[in-house]
Amino acid sequence: MRAVVHDRYGPPEVLRLEDVEPPVPKDGEVRVRIHATTVSRTDCALREGVPFVARLTTGLRRPRQRILGSDLAGEVEAIGANVTEFEAGDRVFGINPWRFGAHAELLCMRAGAALSHMPSGMPFEEAAAICDGAILALNALRPANLRQGQRILVYGASGSIGTAAVQLARHFGAGVIAVCNPKSLDLVRSLGADEVIDYTQQDFMGNGQTYDVILDAVGTLRFRDCRGSLKRGGAYLATDGFRNLALSPWTALIGPKRVRFSIPPRFTKKDVVFLRELIEAGDYRAVIDRRYPLEQVVEATRYVETKQKTGNVVLTVSR
């Protein structure tokens, strides 16, 4: 089968297309013929080998996992023993975190993992773009226990996590204030934001407004800088940054405002099914910026690393 591999850490050019042995499903696994996947900021960080401390698990001198990619949408091609939920020909979507391997034509994963039948009538490219940002947004939002009447500010509302967070926060009943770049203002409004702030024209930290929750969807804010924009008892929701690992337990002990950081994130079948149900009810949609064929993975990765993508960047693998 064809797969995108890398044998050393480095820039996007270390990625190359190669023929590798196809995986064989073990007991409890399904083999999926992948039609579409994504390139995420996690893929970029793993390929580059940053932060360096992460190499203690990913491989100190060279990557242990040669094939990146976690999001997937495709068709079940074969099943292992003791699989009853899926059968050959089923259209499925999901995410394969920690093990990766979705930048390839075939992937084996546990049937009980974060995998579900696709929403009816949805194209593979759209299904592949559902999980990564949405599940990370769910992980970040859950500690805040959003409810009717609360106001949440989503910083970086045009990325994969941000576009998901806007829709999910709206679904949970909160009023949503979204901060994004000028090209994405109309898109973010269409996703359900009650108010949109163009960060090139206005600094939300200086507008005198306060919020019950601030979600940093891009990992560039600092709690100390935006705590003045939080109401008493408010929560700063982090999606990145090792400094937040220390701040989360510390602020839980002192002060009226807290940092909440869900590490490690959890990726479950329950969440994938929840997202499918939201889509089928018309309450959620995946946002796609650009589509590239698998052969153009280097170009796709370069674009992701500009940090200017809106929503998701999709790789089409097979049709």
Return the CATH number at 12.
Answer: 3.90.180.10
Residues 122 and 142 in one domain: no
Query: Which of 260, 276, 297 lies at the terminal end of a domain, its last residue?
Result: 260
The C-alpha atoms of residue 198 and residue 204 are separated, in whole angstroms, by 9
CA dihedral 81, 84, 89, 95 (to 10 degrees): -90
Residues 84 and 95 in one domain: yes
Find the largest Cα–Cα distance for the chain: 60
Side-chain-side CA neighbours of residue 288 (13 Å): 18
Residue whose pair of structure tokens reads 């940093």 in the numeric block: 216
Tens of pLDDT, residue by residue over 267-288, are 999 999 999 999 999 999 999 9
Residues 107 and 185 in one domain: no
Average pLDDT of the chain, as a whole number: 96
Tens of pLDDT, residue by residue over 77-108, are 999 999 999 999 999 999 999 999 999 999 99
What is the tally of structural domains in the chain?
2
Residues in CB range of 125: below 8 A, 6 or more apart? 35, 36, 73, 288, 291, 314, 316
Return the CATH number at 227.
Answer: 3.40.50.720
Task: Tell me if 224 is assigned to some domain.
Answer: yes
Task: Tell me if 180 is assigned to some domain.
Answer: yes
- In Å, how far are 44, 58, 63, 77, 219 from 10, measured between CA atoms? 10, 14, 10, 34, 22
Helices (H) and strands (E) in the chain, counts: 10, 15
Parent domain of 114: 2-130+286-316
Residues 139 and 206 in one domain: yes
Tallying the residues shown for the chain, one arrives at: 319
Predicted confidence at residue 249, as pLDDT, reads 86
Residues 250 and 155 in one domain: yes
Query: Which two tokens mark 37?
Result: 């996947």
Tens of pLDDT, residue by residue over 44-68, are 999 999 988 889 899 999 999 999 9
Residues 27 and 98 in one domain: yes
